[in-house]
A and B are shown apart, each in its own frame.
Chain A
Amino acid sequence: MVRRVLSLATGRIALAVLTVIAVLALFGPLLAPQNPLATGDHPLAAASGAHWLGTDYLGRDVLSRLLDGSRVSVLGSLEVAFTALAIGAVPGILSVHLGRVFEWVTLRLADTLVALPFLLFAVAVIALLGNGLSQAMLVTGALVSPLFYRVARAATLAVARSPYVEAAIVSGASIGWVVRRHVWAKVLPPIAVALAQTVGVGFVIVSSLTFLGIGVQPPAPTWGGLLASDLGYLSHQPWAPLAPALLIMVTVWACNLLADAIRDVSGEAGRALVNTRKARANRRREADPAPAPAGGVR
């Protein structure tokens, strides 16, 4: 799967961007050239050699604050995505197999969760249950989980009616075995697509919450918090929101791009797409011996 995604240019771009973001999240606080909390003598300074992205209203180095704040955003969005995956995917698969009552209940539950405005709920939950981002992200993940439920259910429905699954059930295979052996492989690609999308959504939610100043104690830097503090000084520094805004947008864009790339290369159509691309590439460099098509063909 990874190799197939890498065979697309868009997949390579998306993975490269996301790798950079991951590195920022892991080592950002170490890479920061200055203390992100240290106030300086030159508030609202323009970009210079000492401060690559200028300083904010307290004279703090913007680049350091950006780097230091990346971890919160990345962790939060991953938490949203994986909570949603954990809550949504398994009932989605089982809803096809475990009988009508379970199916009806989970379907109604998914309808319920979809109807709730999750940003509003996240705001409410953080405010009421204490100022922690992780509780809010758990709740948001639960509210986003119907996406995974639907995706997993649709893919399972498609495979459950196929002859080989019926044959397996007729020959006495247990539901667990069928799910592990047959369903899982078909459900994984759409779930991977949904996961990539959800990480993008999670970024927007984390940034929105930190923008409102919810979930993080004030001096700690976050991408959304940087934007919020820039808002008050727009007349002095109209370009200041550019860096955090671009960072958020590029990350979300990379997530969407990755989702599209996975969708393009998964399934039968995707296999054909990758193979024709490979064939064309091989034909093009007929001169040098092309490497044998390594992955993708089964």
Chain B
Amino acid sequence: MTTTEAPAPPDVRVPATTARTRHTLGRVLATLARSVAIFVPVFLVATFVTFALRSLSGLSPARIQLGEEATPEAVARVEAHWGLNRPFLVQYADWFGGVLHGQLGASWTNGADISTLIGLGLGVSLSVATFALLIGVVAGFALGTVAALRRTTWADRAITGFVTVISVMPAFVVGIVLVAVFAVGLHLFPSAGYVPAEQGFGPWLAHITLPAVALSFDVVADVARQLRGSLIGAYRENYVTGAVVRGLSPRRIFFGHVLRNGLGPALATLGLKFPALVGASVVTEWIFGLQGFGRFANDSAQAGDVPAVQGVLVVSIVLVVAFNLLVNLVLARVTPTAQRGV
């Protein structure tokens, strides 16, 4: 059954609906404007901090390219080549201008274009992260909804217990267990590596399943818990009692009233989870031998490749902010409470 509008007297409904559409549009625009207003200072501060990291670190490309026993002249020559002898703010302005054009500079270790390197890794990481989010949303919604609808029964208790257990399992613990059981023990999945989707959908899926499951546990737990709590809260509201009294079917009450109002916190959690997902990819990609974004971050950080690390941080900030923008837009569209302007 779909949640169609009840046949109501049209002369009353029509002006109200247009007003609501206009209102919704305004709301979406306001959300966009607010997100952009937050995004700009976030971006400025974060990029400045990431750029200042180099001066604080005292690392230099000369050390990487020439080794420890380089003459001061050689060091100065290499640093001048990279433009490090200019004033700090000039360097920052130069770099920031490049970032705005999508140019993240060249790697200190091999001189390769960092934007290209990160682009290569992002394909892997985004496949895994998207799949993990998908698992998290589907499983989390299923578990949370069942727990809320069957609350105080064995099903609710079992789900709550399960969610508590998986919420305390860090991604790398899950990853190791998955490798031990499904790759080493049962030989169901490859234990490491990545195959692009162009070379076949099956192998691609097989390679990203275990990392995605490892990443998704945290999302599943948080979404399920939030959804259970907010759905139970929504069922206590007066409008639900009103709907019951009006004789609406339980299914209609659930989809039309409870779910729309209870969805907000779960979606907001999803927005907050994304940075953690990006961070955890550092560890899972290490376990599963994926040459992704997180692996690139770890490798370049350990090699002391400062421009690469800066690039990684900038890209991660952009990813996080873009994802939050998406979540905010969905929130503004879906939940009636969002119009109050939380």
Q: A and B, one complex?
A: yes
Q: Are B168 and A249 in contact (CB under 8 A)?
A: yes
Q: Is B124 an interface residue (CB 8 A)?
A: no
Q: Is B137 an interface residue (CB 8 A)?
A: no
Q: Are B179 and A115 in contact (CB under 8 A)?
A: no
B293 nearest in chain A by CB position: A120
Given that A120-B294, A207-B172 are contacting pairs, would A245 and B177 also be in contact in the complex, using a CB cutoff of 8 Å? yes
Contacts of A128 in B (CB 8 A): 53-54, 56-57, 59, 301, 304, 306, 309
Contacts of A256 in B (CB 8 A): 164, 167-168
Q: Of B180, B185, B309, which contacts A127 at CB under 8 A?
A: B309
Q: Are A245 and B298 in contact (CB under 8 A)?
A: no
A256 nearest in chain B by CB position: B168
Contacts of B279 in A (CB 8 A): 117-120
Q: Of B41, B45, B272, B283, which contacts A114 at CB under 8 A?
A: B272
Contacts of B169 in A (CB 8 A): 249
Which DSSP category, helix, strand, loop or mixed, fits chain A's interface?
Answer: helix
Q: Are B313 and A120 in contact (CB under 8 A)?
A: yes
Q: Are B275 and A227 in contact (CB under 8 A)?
A: no
CB distance from A279 to the nearest CB of B (A): 23
CB distance from A291 to the nearest CB of B (A): 32
B37 nearest in chain A by CB position: A108
CB distance from B212 to the nearest CB of A (A): 18
Residue picked from A114, A207, A211, most chain B C-beta under 10 Å: A211
Quick one: CB contact mask for A101-120 with B, threshold 8 Å, 1 for yes? 00000001101101111111
Q: Of A117, A127, A248, A253, which contacts B316 at CB under 8 A?
A: A117
**At the interface with chain B, which of A179-187, A188-196, A230-238?**
A230-238
Q: Are B176 and A230 in contact (CB under 8 A)?
A: yes
Q: Are B184 and A114 in contact (CB under 8 A)?
A: no
Q: Is B324 an interface residue (CB 8 A)?
A: yes
Contacts of B283 in A (CB 8 A): 119, 208, 211-212
Measured between alpha carbons, how far is A271 from B50 in the docked complex, in Å? 47
Q: Are B177 and A112 in contact (CB under 8 A)?
A: no
Measured between alpha carbons, how far is A137 from B279 in the docked complex, in Å? 15
Given that A112-B45, A123-B301, A208-B283 are contacting pairs, would A252 and B170 also be in contact in the complex, using a CB cutoff of 8 Å? yes
Contacts of A119 in B (CB 8 A): 276, 279-280, 282-283
A/B interface sample: 10 pairs, CB < 8 A? A112-B46, A117-B278, A124-B297, A124-B301, A128-B301, A212-B286, A234-B176, A234-B180, A241-B173, A249-B170
Residue positions of B touching A, CB distance < 8 A? 38, 41-42, 45-46, 50, 53-54, 56-57, 59, 164-165, 167-173, 176-177, 179-180, 184-185, 272, 275-276, 278-280, 282-283, 286-287, 294, 297-298, 301-302, 304, 306, 309, 312-313, 316-317, 320-321, 324
Given A224-B172, A231-B176, 14 additional A-B pairs, CB 8 A = A115-B320, A116-B46, A120-B312, A128-B54, A128-B57, A128-B301, A200-B168, A208-B170, A214-B302, A227-B176, A231-B287, A234-B179, A234-B180, A252-B170
